[in-house]
Amino acid sequence: MHCPFCRHTDSRVVDSRTSDDGCSIRRRRSCPTCGRRFTTVETASLTVVKRSGATEPFSREKVLVGVRKACQGRPVSEDALAVLSQRVEEAVRATGSAEIDAHDVGLAILGPLRELDEVAYLRFASVYRSFESLADFEAEIALLRAEHEPTGREPEAAGSGSG
Ligand SMILES: [Zn+2]
């Protein structure tokens, strides 16, 4: 980043401070040529591409609103919701790309939401994955049930091929 005063192409960071929400860093810089100081703000850009093709900046708040709706009436605390939306943001940022499909944001929500509350998960999944019949719910519930089976026991007693 060049100096805004003399256009020198280098600058020295004299102070870095992370914003309260952790989403940006302010850097105080000093120009080695003219000695003047200036500030830069650094954020990791993350754009969500909707199905319509429209884009909008990623919003943790939007994730929170969607998940909160699915959790209505469930014993899920606001703290847990905040942690979940933070995990979702970390997961989508971890992809390292500057753009992400809205679909993939939904995918990133499903995993942590299932750990949090399975009923809320089913609600969210039914909308997000467009469940169309009871069979869709049944299939999803069967998957959840299968994961509740005690682990450590191999399902081989009845021989292979049963299903
Ligand atoms: Zn300068």
For residue range 45-75, what is the model confidence (pLDDT) as tens digits?
Answer: 788 998 898 888 888 899 999 999 999 999 9
pLDDT tens column, 3-37: 999 999 999 999 999 877 777 889 999 999 999 99
Between the CA of 8 and the centroid of ligand 1 the distance, in Å, is 5
Query: Would you say residue 1 has pLDDT above 60?
Result: yes
Cα Rg of the chain (Å, integer):
23
Between the CA of 38 and the centroid of ligand 1 the distance, in Å, is 9
Residue 154 has what pLDDT?
53
Between the CA of 129 and the centroid of ligand 1 the distance, in Å, is 54
Residues forming beta bridges with residue 99, ordered by sequence position: 47
> Do 1 and 11 form a contact (C-beta atoms < 8 A)?
yes
Q: What band does 162 get if pLDDT is binned at 50, 70 and 90?
A: very low
Between the CA of 28 and the centroid of ligand 1 the distance, in Å, is 13
pTM of the model: 0.64
Residue holding tokens 């998960």? 121
131, burial (CB in 10 Å: exposed 0-12, middle 13-18, buried 19+) = middle
Query: Would you say residue 108 has pLDDT above 90?
Result: yes
Between the CA of 30 and the centroid of ligand 1 the distance, in Å, is 8
Average pLDDT over residues 128-155: 81
Q: How crowded is the C-beta side of 34, counted as CA atoms within 13 Å? A: 13
Between the CA of 10 and the centroid of ligand 1 the distance, in Å, is 8
